[in-house]
A = this chain, B = another copy of it.
Amino acid sequence: MSLIVQKFGGSSVRDARRIQNVAGIIAETYLEGNDVIVVLSAQGDTTDDLIAKAEEINRHPSKREMDMLLATGEQISVALCAMALEAMGLPCVSLAAWQVGIQSTGVHSDARIKKIDSERVRSELDQHRIVIVTGFQGVDRSGDVTTLGRGGSDTSAVALAAAFHADLCQIYTDVDGVYTTDPRIVPEARKLEEITYDEMLELASQGAQVLHNRSVELAKKFRVKLEVLSSLERKPGTKVKEVTKVEKTNIAGVAKDTSIARVALIGLQHNPGVAFQVFDLLGKNNINVDIILQSIGREDTKDISFTIHRKDREEAESLLNEHKDVLKFDHIESDDQIGKVSIVGVGLMSNCGVAAKMFEALYEAGINIQMINTSEIRVSVLLDEEDVNRAVKAIHSKFFDE
């Protein structure tokens, strides 16, 4: 007998029919003799509806009250799912995060799971009940409801799998696995049978929407075996593991991200500590910086370019301008018509031909590269936004077409 954690996203539980479908998958797993912990997101548009209700009343509600409001979404899902399982005659119990004891930090709307009490869930599993838990949420030290931020339900599922030493954590979604690139852009994209945590992590950070990187990080840390699969089609998905069984001869995939903007500080003084001051300022204002590039500018000055989320561009610019006297730069140049394309694969950087092959594909397609950034298992290039899809196609074809 195994313990399996199954997580279903918002579109998988969006209406009564979908919930019954989900209950069918859970029932099958349970009736095969497994212990099952289910983690659910809020139904389809529930979160958006709740946000709209809030905005009608207060354009800038506190994050604490927003969390209190949004947490009802998953509670509705778990109760309805339990009812669907009850209708099948299966023993089950729905639990909100505070009932499970999913303890989190107190950072409302972006909390991190600190600890999971095992008592209640363990006692329910001992009574052979299917346990259905609200994803995306926790409770902080003062007993307030928190939400975990983007991809929170995936993180809840992986954290529960880690806490209860689950044999497998299945992430059910509306795609049937992890692909070598976005099949909407490249119809020839292939589903991967297996992928390593690190590759999945880079793909997730580089814009592949399948799994949020926080959940993959957590899975890697606690060696939780993950599987990404479809709740609508019964076929094997993609397994995410420490080491994949096949000797890798190729990259794992091509990812794109068009939600970014590039900001450049031009004509900075060549003093020590300037970079620290710039990124300390942005960090303290919760602006996440992705790629950073520093180059020598004209005369004795230098330029620093970096990418951030597009939504943060205006705020970043005004912050930097407010501190122009201290930072001593000449002017800011920024661009939000850009995109990032990345290739990801274990051993990629130790195989010197790979990056060159990517650049060759871009060259052949006549696409200009604005910035380059690399990690151990990833090469990213910054391009004009209008070139992004063409770049993905060209690179995918270069690596995957025989």
Interface presence of A183 (CB below 8 A): no
CB-nearest residue of chain B relative to A101? Answer: B143
* 6 sample A-B contacts, Cβ–Cβ < 8 Å, listed by A number: A65-B83, A68-B94, A68-B96, A69-B79, A98-B98, A99-B143
Q: How many residues of A contact B (CB 8 A)?
A: 38
- Contact at A86–B58, with CB atoms within 8 Å? yes
**Bound: A137/B299 CA distance, A:** 71
The yes or no answer to A87 lying at the interface (CB within 8 A) is yes
Q: A325 within 8 Å of B by Cβ?
A: no
Across the interface, do A80 and B99 meet the contact criterion of CB distance under 8 Å?
Answer: no
Q: Is A84 an interface residue (CB 8 A)?
A: yes
**Cβ–Cβ contact A65 & B86, under 8 A:** yes
Tell me the residues in window 5-62 of chain A with beta carbons closer than 8 Å to chain B beta carbons.
16, 19-20, 50, 53-54, 56-59, 61-62
| A147-200 interface (Cβ within 8 A of B) | none
Is there an interface contact between B53 and A16, defined as CB atoms closer than 8 Å? yes
A143 to chain B, nearest CB (A): 5
Bound complex: CA A16 to CA B52 (Å) = 11
How many Å lie between the Cα of A86 and that of B55 in the bound state? 12
Interface set, chain A 70-112, CB cutoff 8 A to B: 71-72, 75-76, 78-80, 82-84, 86-87, 93-94, 96, 98-99
Instruction: Give bound CA distance, A59 to B16, whole Å.
Output: 12
Inter-subunit contact A79/B68 (CB<8 Å): yes
The answer to the question of A144 belonging to the interface, with a C-beta cut-off of 8 Å to chain B, is yes
**A324 contacts the other chain (Cβ, under 8 Å)?**
no
Distance in Å from the Cβ of A27 to the closest Cβ of chain B? 14
Q: In whole angstroms, what is the CA distance A252 to B145 when docked?
A: 46
The answer to whether B76 touches A61, judged by C-beta atoms less than 8 angstroms apart, is: no
Alpha-carbon distance between A57 and B59 when the two chains are bound, in angstroms:
35
Q: Cβ of A94: which chain B residues have Cβ within 8 Å of it?
A: 65, 68
In whole angstroms, how far apart are the Cα atoms of A59 and B143 in the complex? 34
Q: A120 an interface residue at 8 Å Cβ cutoff? A: yes
A211 to B87, CA, bound (A): 36
Evaluate contact between A84 and B57: CB separation under 8 angstroms. Answer: yes
Closest Cβ–Cβ distance, residue A287 to chain B (whole Å): 25
Interfacial chain B residues near A120, Cβ < 8 Å: 143
